[in-house]
Amino acid sequence: MIRRAALALAAWLAASSAGAVECNNVSYDGNRYAICEVDASEEQLQLFLRNDDGQVIGHFSTLEKLLAQQGKTLPFATNAGMYHSSRAPVGLYVEDGAEEMRLVTNAGPGNFGLLPNGVFCIREDRADVMETLAFQKAAPDCRHASQSGPMLVIDGELHPRFLPDSDSRYIRNGVGTSADGRRVVFAISRNAVSFHQFGSLFRDHLQLPNALYFDGNISRLHAPQLDRSDAGFMMGPIVGVVEKTETSD
């Protein structure tokens, strides 16, 4: 009886200590990645760019302090789309329903303009990666949205411009979503990878039909489960999971 009680207590403690995000270091096809998976129907995913005074947040440590003042914690965060030197978003950016930057549909320079690009859209109980023109046509009501590019996976197919033998390799990060919008997987490479390798991670290993590239060597990850919270230059948009602290109402 004592043993059964001990096992029940251990199970309860394990369940109660489970985080909002499951993060792991994995290897796939000879490359190393940090993967963080979120259930969008259960957890509070949101974007962050500026504080209440309009100043760019820029760092995970700054965001943690702001959330702590509200009785909240940050179990996961990563950079969430490309930005100008001012840290203003390059493409569509919506935070708490307020649009800061419009949708950009035309081709342009750099990875952002390598069409097709896409939008990461967070809605009630789901999150979706959508190709930009499909997003424009569907006009979903996103509570938070960030446009970036290129798309990594589009309806189960790799971006048509990705070359299997490309020697363009960098640290890269991005996000993929399931068809029902519940499963959201963020990944950052732990060694330099090509676009083809990175897209294949989402399509073939993570089995996700749509995935979007966020950025390259500036990419950073906040994942306490992995004892990791990257520092560096100020970032633009940040996506994270927010939880109330145990003592907050």
Tell me the three state secondary structure of residue 110. Answer: coil
Q: What is the pLDDT of residue 246?
A: 73
The token duo for 7 is: 């096992």
Q: What is the pLDDT of residue 16?
A: 35
Give the pLDDT confidence of 66-107 residue by residue, as tens digits: 999 999 999 999 999 999 999 999 999 999 999 999 999 999
| Residues 192 and 171 sit within 8 Å (Cβ to Cβ) | yes
- CA-to-CA distance for 129 and 212, rounded, in angstroms? 7
- CA-to-CA distance for 219 and 83, rounded, in angstroms? 12
Q: How confident is the model at residue 11 (pLDDT cuts 50, 70, 90)?
A: very low
Nearest to 149 by CA among 165, 167, 162: 162
Supply φ then ψ for residue 205, to 5 degrees. -90, -45
- CA-to-CA distance for 91 and 108, rounded, in angstroms? 11
Helices assigned H by DSSP within 166-223 = 195-200
Which residues, 6 or more positions from 15, have their beta carbon under 8 angstroms from its beta carbon? none
- CA-to-CA distance for 38 and 78, rounded, in angstroms? 13
Nearest to 153 by CA among 205, 102, 113: 205
Q: What is the mean pLDDT of residues 214-224?
A: 97
Give the pLDDT confidence of 120-167 residue by residue, as tens digits: 999 999 999 999 999 999 999 999 999 999 999 999 999 999 999 999
What kind and span of H or E run contains 100? strand 98-101
- CA-to-CA distance for 150 and 108, rounded, in angstroms? 11
